[in-house]
Structure 1
């Protein structure tokens, strides 16, 4: 009898457990997410997902992507809209709060200063972390800054003033570093990488006489550290010697000989009208195993300073292709010869726009298209800060003042690219366009920067950096005459799970951007 009652009790306990199991299971698996985007066209360029899905976020992470109904503290209906990974700009000189807000309307959730980079690196991150940023930020090590410090014996400061002062001095642009100076340059670059720098940025075009051995030595150092390089080619010219072709050949040779991952910045502008020949050389090197990547922006004009070395020396106009003073624009006004000469002599750091290609001409537009659609290439803005009458605009100013000036690429690169190339001209599919602005940049960086393995993707476990836009409405509004115009069509933009743009409006109270760096700070100082 005792054994019978014992078995009966066990059986009753088991039946009760089975009876309540569905309720218990439902209770433990029903998740209430922080934010859910429902019913949008979700595109993930890595896996090829392109379907109607619901995206649930928990904190700063994408927690679930599903066709099933899910619940959240806030549910956002995004039916009829595209849900994409946030765009990653590898070439963003504008690192201010204002610049980040402007780029957010262009779909950018991560803006990295990789061509120029920064130096000292630790100071760059410390300042922006203390101030906060609307979108994610990061920088490479500025090789030119380390060179200025070593060759001119200048101690770098925690702001840009020392760098601008050094750039305005003459002589260092065409000097060969001594063995001791080169050793110091390499030590300073290594220090910057230890402080979290995302690679090495080479502005060789601003120091064309710095020597091939120096570029090789520092690239070799980067290769040993598995760090990528980002190079503004040494020359800007269609005439030999010292042509753009020769400058690109240097990057190819160093990539092949050292094994460094070499990224070529603004392929469209630095190649001038030799872009097809240069592209053929780059593609051949890639197919033979050289780790080379490229970027371009969808404009026929570039921006730099009027005193740059490329605009000096005998015959520089002819080498570039018959450039005249009227090819240069300052604060929206084309220059004449007198003003050009005065600014170059008295204010060489003055920002200018220079028109290389006339995209009204089919043959010039075809050259630009070639660089924009180069196999496996990515899109990067080369955008900068915003000024009024040459003076920086304070970060607490919003909205962007109508009289603000910058290259229109600072506001419109990404929506211009997607709207023109994927929608209006149909030269590329929407998923491929999204790959070039999100997963493409992330994949270039992720072997050295582990954080990038969670960006540029719409997948469970990825960072909740997401842009939601209306494919039929998106367009760039910034022009050369009126650059202070925000791109249109972005409805929501989430940075680390926080809606920075909410139903088309900027939330000025949010600064959710986080630093992107390679590793923890190991700071030392000379």
Structure 2
């Protein structure tokens, strides 16, 4: 019996977490257990009280979960500009999926005159790379505090191949050039393709262009097509249909980015869109991500303001003094319409109060829904989702509103996310998985960031471990930066 134990569990480890309520990321119920870490791996789960360890943490009264995976971020550049990533580490996030909404740090060639959304990305000029390999090397040479899985942006491909002339469909030669760039990027470890069809950089890209590029993913295991659909307002149903058609025709896994229904006329349409998603899931792999707020945030654009009850201008290049003010107040002071004020303020960023709470909750409850923040780091007065998304789901929605169980909430930000984005070695607490972990107080966890003070850390996070190294403990971030660029791996698909 002793020989069997020795094969399964070592005699000693680097780090032992004892007496935890382990929520393992599969969606199953919590169980009392100890977890042992050696190097960057979990080497034991169970009753390990007699195991020798260099560091022992008594987690009595606390929950231990896999490190949270933020599946929808624009952190490509922040990982190099602000590698400590406090807005992620302090809420228990250990891995980010970057390169969403069609814009990515690689492969991308910066040029003048590019339309939205390129002008809302801090660091775009300083930290963009012509190959994913070069981006990976930069991450390796200057490791961030969290891991990164990178999508290739469709708009980034368009800009690289077509220059600023994006107000048209790509021709056959340009599509072939983009396909070659995408194929190379996937071969260098990119996680898939993303699109931002609701932005000027890709508005004129037809279905055939997207299908042709998404089809390249079939050559690379563990990749996915994630799309910011063509409209999230009045034609949201048609836009979801287009996205589902793209996934079906390209025969690739699909993720609908930050799914929502914007504008009062469209409140309740999530009943229709989710039914469409359910039907499509019978024939192929379809998932979605969502953030737990009724306000969105993006570039300040005329086409977005009509659906919003209120709009906060978070920054403006020509009028920096307007940052943090309501668009309607600015328009009233200037004696112009909301649309005219918008034009004067650009390039600018904004928060749009344009969603219904019932839709947000309905979408979050969907079994294929993952959690993603869609935060915009580096902007003035960012949306509070950048700092508060994951504790808000665990505290407000799981504990307080009982929208779903704590185990289900953790699954939506760990095991399910890892499965959909090709991270077979993360997202669960099990022997052999990478030691990305978060220890938190389920009774105390809560988001503190709000629209007035959006850069406030959450409470209730006790310890965060990234690849076996402590990144945050007892309210303080450590100097450890153990994050890695996560290359393609065989995927563990399914809803688990």
Q: TM-score, normalised by structure 1?
A: 0.78
Stretches of structure 2 lacking an aligned partner (at least 5 in a row) = 108-131, 315-322, 490-496
Q: Which moved more, 1:217-226 or 1:60-69?
A: 217-226
Q: Which residue number corresponds to residue 381 of structure 1?
A: 373
Secondary structure at the aligned position of 1:115 is classed as coil
Is residue 2:285 matched to residue 1:291? yes
CA–CA separation in structure 1 for the residues paired with 2:440 and 2:93: 12
Stretches of structure 1 lacking an aligned partner (at least 5 in a row) = 1-20, 153-165, 358-363, 389-404, 447-451, 520-526
Secondary structure at the aligned position of 1:214 is classed as helix
Q: Which residue number corresponds to residue 317 of structure 2?
A: none
Secondary structure at the aligned position of 1:267 is classed as coil
Secondary structure at the aligned position of 1:387 is classed as coil
Q: Which residue number corresponds to residue 155 of structure 1?
A: none
**How far did 1:411 drift?**
0.3
CA–CA separation in structure 2 for the residues paired with 1:260 and 1:22: 47
Is residue 2:193 matched to residue 1:212? no
Secondary structure at the aligned position of 1:453 is classed as coil
**How far did 1:412 drift?**
0.2
Q: Which residue number corresponds to residue 234 of structure 1?
A: 230
Q: Which residue number corresponds to residue 300 of structure 2?
A: 306
Deviations 1:41-79 (A, max 9, x none): 011132836211111110110110122412201111110
Is residue 2:242 matched to residue 1:255? no
Q: Which residue number corresponds to residue 199 of structure 1?
A: 192
Q: Which residue number corresponds to residue 474 of structure 2?
A: 503
Once the two structures are superposed, the pairs formed by residues 370-409 of structure 1 within 5 Å of their partners are: 370-388=362-380, 405-409=381-385
CA–CA separation in structure 1 for the residues paired with 2:2 and 2:227: 60
Q: Are the counterparts in 2 of residues 141 and 199 from structure 1 also a CA contact under 8 Å?
A: yes
- CA distance 1:136–1:89, change in 2 (3 Å): same
Q: Point out the structure with the larger helix share.
A: 1
- CA distance 1:229–1:479, change in 2 (3 Å): same
**How far did 1:259 drift?**
1.7
CA–CA separation in structure 2 for the residues paired with 1:496 and 1:300: 34
Equivalent of 1:246 in 228, 238, 243:
238
**How far did 1:342 drift?**
6.6
Once the two structures are superposed, the pairs formed by residues 361-440 of structure 1 within 5 Å of their partners are: 364-388=356-380, 405-440=381-416
Q: TM-score, normalised by structure 2?
A: 0.82
Q: Are the counterparts in 2 of residues 43 and 431 from structure 1 also a CA contact under 8 Å?
A: yes
**How far did 1:258 drift?**
2.5
Equivalent of 1:490 in 454, 458, 461:
461
CA–CA separation in structure 1 for the residues paired with 2:382 and 2:36: 37
- CA distance 1:85–1:305, change in 2 (3 Å): same
- CA distance 1:180–1:423, change in 2 (3 Å): same
Q: Which moved more, 1:340-349 or 1:258-267?
A: 340-349
Q: Which residue number corresponds to residue 80 of structure 1?
A: 61
Q: Which residue number corresponds to residue 485 of structure 2?
A: 515
- CA distance 1:30–1:151, change in 2 (3 Å): closer
Q: Which residue number corresponds to residue 70 of structure 2?
A: 89
Query: Cα RMSD over matched residues?
Result: 2.6
Q: Are the counterparts in 2 of residues 305 and 351 from structure 1 also a CA contact under 8 Å?
A: yes
Q: Are the counterparts in 2 of residues 418 and 433 from structure 1 also a CA contact under 8 Å?
A: yes
Once the two structures are superposed, the pairs formed by residues 172-187 of structure 1 within 5 Å of their partners are: 172=166, 174-187=167-180
Q: Which residue number corresponds to residue 119 of structure 1?
A: 106
Deviations 1:321-368 (A, max 9, x none): xx36x42432322113358657754663422111112xxxxxx32111
- CA distance 1:502–1:108, change in 2 (3 Å): same
Equivalent of 1:141 in 152, 176, 180:
152
When Rg is computed on C-alpha atoms for both structures, the one with the higher figure is 1
Q: Which moved more, 1:40-49 or 1:189-198?
A: 40-49
